[in-house]
Every structure is written in structure tokens, then in C-alpha cells.
């Protein structure tokens, strides 16, 4: 055990005496400086990459906001147009343009002057069709190669 201790002490003193040599010490200092500069460069590159991702994400959000703003501006222009005001007056208030007459025809009377179209027999009590049933029936007809244009 004592011999191992002396061996390691001798080896340590030999290695420490190498640091007394200016060439070895200069090389060690040079390697440490190169490693520190490399590590600093890698960290700078990583932080630049992260910042570039943030800038790109913010630019995309900015473009999205600009598109939303332009869409809202176009909608506002449409809502202020005479065409929208005319349609809105017709739908919501039952108004008509000057010289027009509005005819209210009961649902049953209007249907009496139409021809029977296949698929319209599944109307509910309000007179509206059930689109999911119509679509379902159309798909069945398509897959079974039924002629739907009778």
C-alpha cells in the first residue's frame, strides 16, 4: 500500500512539474481558450436560432392579424353597401324596392303547382327537407347503381 502511495505521489509531482514548462502551460492555456471561444460561439448560434424562430412566429401572427383585419374591413364595406342594405331590408323587414309587389303564397299552394321530385317526400312539418336523409338516400342510390334521374 505504501508503495502505491509513493508511486502516485511521484507520478503527480512529475505531472505538476510539466506545468513549470512554459511551452506545456501555453498549450494548455491555448486549448482552454479555444474551448471557451467555441462554447461561446455555439451558445451564440443557439440563441440566434431561437430568436429567429420567435421572429418568424411573430411575423406569421402579424400576417394572420393583417389578413383578419382586411377581411373585417371588406365585411364592413359590404355591410355599408346599398346591396346589403337592400337584401337586409327584404329579409328582415319584408320591404321591397319601389314599384315591386310582394306576393305571399302559402306553402301548400306553392307545392300544388310543382312536380314531384324524388327525395322530396321526406319533408318535415315545417316544409323543410331533411338533408342528411336525402344525402344518405343519394349515396345508397349511387352505390346500388340506381337511376336517380326519373
pLDDT (tens digit, 9 = 90+) per residue, 77-119?
999 999 998 888 888 887 777 888 777 888 888 888 777 656 5
**For residue 126, what pLDDT is reported?**
52
**For residue 36, what pLDDT is reported?**
95
**For residue 48, what pLDDT is reported?**
96
Distance of CA 34 to the CA centre of its chain: 44
**For residue 149, what pLDDT is reported?**
57
Taking 70 as the pLDDT cut, the residues of the chain under it are 116-133, 148-150
**For residue 67, what pLDDT is reported?**
97
**For residue 63, what pLDDT is reported?**
97
- Paired with 123 in beta bridges are 129
Cα separation of 8 and 15, whole Å? 10
Distance of CA 130 to the CA centre of its chain: 33
Amino acid at each position: 500500500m505504501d508503495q502505491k502511495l509513493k508511486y502516485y505521489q511521484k507520478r503527480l509531482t512529475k505531472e505538476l512539474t510539466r506545468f513549470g514548462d512554459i511551452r506545456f502551460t501555453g498549450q494548455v492555456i491555448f486549448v482552454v481558450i479555444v474551448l471557451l471561444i467555441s462554447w461561446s460561439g455555439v451558445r451564440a448560434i443557439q440563441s440566434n436560432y431561437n430568436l429567429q424562430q420567435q421572429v418568424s412566429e411573430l411575423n406569421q401572427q402579424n400576417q394572420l392579424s393583417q389578413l383578419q383585419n382586411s377581411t373585417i374591413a371588406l365585411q364592413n364595406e359590404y355591410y355599408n353597401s346599398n346591396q346589403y342594405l337592400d337584401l337586409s331590408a327584404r329579409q328582415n323587414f319584408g320591404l321591397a324596392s319601389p314599384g315591386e309587389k310582394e306576393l305571399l303564397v302559402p306553402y301548400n299552394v306553392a307545392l300544388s303547382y310543382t312536380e314531384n321530385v324524388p327525395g322530396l317526400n321526406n319533408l318535415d312539418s315545417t316544409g323543410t327537407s331533411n338533408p342528411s336523409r336525402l344525402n344518405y338516400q343519394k349515396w345508397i342510390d349511387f352505390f346500388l347503381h340506381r337511376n336517380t334521374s326519373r
